[in-house]
């Protein structure tokens, strides 16, 4: 009897993991798959690049402003039904994107899809915390990190293949059946929330305390540095190191590939060592990797860039697994949705800071915003200044985490 119950429990947990993993994959895939289509959209709609960028920006902006709302609704209406609602919105929006007759209706549909993605990204973490024991929480968070990295890495390559073979609308039609499958799985596999409607939802400010605030601050700083590597790498690799587009793509695939394979081991390390120690280790690797990015590529070229990324990326996965575990382990059951929303919000703010503020620092270091006509030495100077500052940000993050201990020792 006990063996049968254990087998049933294992099947239930597997179903939950697959459902939540697919939901997280959809949110990250939706973020990255549209980027590769921007040149095609500019040609098809006869629009300047500044306008077609709205296809990406609308998704990210809607996701960012919706994550706290998604978390609060999850706490007040139930995590499972709100995740299913998010999947429904995401699916409908994907269909509208595929049908859009003009650019601005496509942008509006992408904004709606971003709202759905906010529910997926936020509530999958809260539901994973609810379904996972304390002893395996780090591994569960590491798994979500792996799936998120997989979606981010898969988007450009899969999108490029689909656009070349079928056309740009196919990147949105692909997401429709996947969202429908996730919706059906959620209805069958996820347990109901017995606390639904019993407790009032919390506001973001009401759950903020001296333990949570520094974790969110550090999350902003780390996300900003990682976004800077993604935004600035094409300019540095192509203009300073002289790589062609194919070579740039291959080099930039190294980081996501490492993320995919290091997520689950990072989570297991959190379970074995505790989130506090692993978080500090991750921040140390991030600081070292950022410092190396400031110097090594300018000294030894592509080998220096790759070595820096090989150190930086595992540090990010260690940090992400440890920080997510620490934040959600401390969250009261009735407020996990809101806390997950704050975690997602801090990450998205960091992505915006990395793309904008650190991009500005790069321009200042290069002495120009016209990168296409900048010299290799100017681009190298921008890279140096940006990642010297990034290394300093990671040292500051270490100080914050040292002063305010993060979760389990």
Q: For 21-36, write each residue's pLDDT tens digit.
A: 999 999 989 877 887 7
pLDDT band for 304, please (50, 70, 90 cuts): very high
pLDDT band for 86, please (50, 70, 90 cuts): very high
Euclidean distance between CA atoms 277 and 374, whole angstroms: 43
State residue 331 phi and psi, 5-degree precision: -75, 130
pLDDT computed for residue 404 by the predictor: 57
Euclidean distance between CA atoms 409 and 405, whole angstroms: 8
pLDDT computed for residue 18 by the predictor: 92
- Which residue, 146, 92, 98, is CA-closest to 117? 92
Euclidean distance between CA atoms 257 and 361, whole angstroms: 28
pLDDT computed for residue 321 by the predictor: 92
Considering Cα of 353, then 242, then 384, then 372, what sign does the dihedral take?
Answer: negative
- Which residue, 120, 37, 24, is CA-closest to 71? 120
Rounded (10°) angle between helices 2-32 and 137-165: 50
Euclidean distance between CA atoms 352 and 220, whole angstroms: 9
pLDDT band for 100, please (50, 70, 90 cuts): very high
pLDDT band for 81, please (50, 70, 90 cuts): very high
Predicted TM-score (pTM) of this structure? 0.80
pLDDT computed for residue 194 by the predictor: 57
Look at 335 and 194; give whichever has higher pLDDT: 335
373, pLDDT greater than 60 = yes
pLDDT digits (tens, 9 = 90+) for 255-278: 888 988 898 899 999 999 999 999
pLDDT computed for residue 90 by the predictor: 97
pLDDT computed for residue 8 by the predictor: 43
pLDDT computed for residue 31 by the predictor: 79
381, pLDDT greater than 60 = yes
Q: Average the pLDDT over 336-364 and give the result.
A: 87
Q: Average the pLDDT over 190-203 and give the result.
A: 59
> Judging by beta carbons within 10 Å of its beta carbon (0-12, 13-18, 19+), is residue 79 exposed, middle or buried?
buried
Euclidean distance between CA atoms 337 and 67, whole angstroms: 9
Note the Cα 352 to chain centre separation in Å. Answer: 12
Tokens matching residue 288: 């070292």
Three-state SS for 374?
coil
Q: Average the pLDDT over 371-400 and give the result.
A: 92
* CA distances in angstroms from 325 to 137, 247, 407, listed in the order given: 6, 36, 8
pLDDT digits (tens, 9 = 90+) for 45-73: 988 867 887 888 889 889 999 999 999 99
Euclidean distance between CA atoms 116 and 33, whole angstroms: 16
- Taken in order of first residue, the domains within the chain and their CATH numbers are 1-196 (1.20.1250.20), 202-409 (1.20.1250.20)
151, pLDDT greater than 60 = yes
pLDDT computed for residue 203 by the predictor: 53
pLDDT computed for residue 198 by the predictor: 46
Q: Average the pLDDT over 230-255 and give the result.
A: 82
Look at 218 and 406; give whichever has higher pLDDT: 218
Tokens matching residue 58: 């609308």
Indicate the average pLDDT of the chain.
86
CB atoms within 10 A of CB 231: 17
80, pLDDT greater than 50 = yes
Note the Cα 346 to chain centre separation in Å. Answer: 11
Tokens matching residue 150: 């997989």
- Which residue, 124, 129, 227, 116, is CA-closest to 172? 116
19, pLDDT greater than 70 = yes
Helices (H), 274-375: 275-300, 302-330, 336-366
């Amino acid at each position: 009897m006990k063996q049968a119950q254990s087998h049933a429990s294992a099947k239930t947990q597997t179903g939950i993991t697959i459902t939540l993993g697919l939901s997280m994959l959809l949110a990250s895939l939706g973020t990255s798959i549209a980027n590769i289509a921007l040149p095609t959209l500019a040609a098809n709609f006869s629009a300047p690049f500044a306008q077609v960028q709205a296809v990406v920006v609308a998704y990210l902006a809607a996701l960012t402003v919706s994550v706290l709302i998604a978390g609060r609704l999850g706490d007040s209406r139930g995590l499972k039904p709100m995740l299913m609602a998010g999947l429904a919105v995401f699916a409908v929006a994907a269909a509208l994107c595929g049908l859009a007759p003009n650019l601005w209706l496509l942008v509006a549909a992408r904004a709606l899809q971003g709202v759905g993605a906010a529910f997926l990204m936020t509530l999958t973490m809260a539901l994973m915390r609810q379904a996972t024991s304390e002893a395996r929480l780090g591994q569960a968070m590491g798994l979500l990190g792996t799936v998120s990295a997989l979606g981010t890495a898969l988007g450009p390559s899969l999108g490029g293949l689909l656009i070349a073979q079928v056309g740009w609308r196919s990147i949105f039609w692909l997401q429709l059946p996947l969202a429908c499958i996730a919706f059906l799985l959620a209805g069958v596999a996820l347990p109901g929330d017995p606390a639904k409607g019993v407790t009032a939802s919390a506001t973001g400010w009401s759950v903020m305390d001296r333990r949570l605030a520094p974790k969110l601050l550090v999350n902003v700083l780390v996300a900003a540095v990682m976004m800077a590597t993604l935004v600035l790498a094409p300019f540095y690799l192509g203009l300073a190191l002289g790589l062609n587009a194919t070579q740039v793509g291959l080099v930039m695939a190294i980081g996501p590939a490492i993320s995919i394979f290091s997520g689950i081991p990072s989570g297991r390390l959190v379970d074995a060592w505790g989130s506090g120690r692993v978080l500090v280790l991750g921040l140390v690797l991030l600081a070292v990797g950022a410092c190396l990015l400031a110097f090594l590529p300018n000294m030894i070229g592509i080998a220096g860039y790759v070595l820096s990324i090989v150190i930086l990326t595992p540090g990010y996965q260690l940090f992400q697994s440890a920080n997510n575990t620490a934040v959600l382990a401390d969250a009261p059951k009735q407020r996990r949705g809101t806390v997950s929303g704050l975690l997602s919000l801090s990450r998205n703010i960091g992505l915006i800071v990395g793309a904008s503020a650190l991009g500005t620092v790069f321009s200042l270091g290069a002495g120009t915003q016209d990168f296409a006509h900048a010299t290799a030495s100017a681009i190298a100077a921008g890279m140096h200044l940006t990642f010297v500052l990034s290394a300093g940000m990671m040292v500051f993050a270490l100080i914050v985490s040292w002063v305010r201990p993060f979760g389990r020792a």
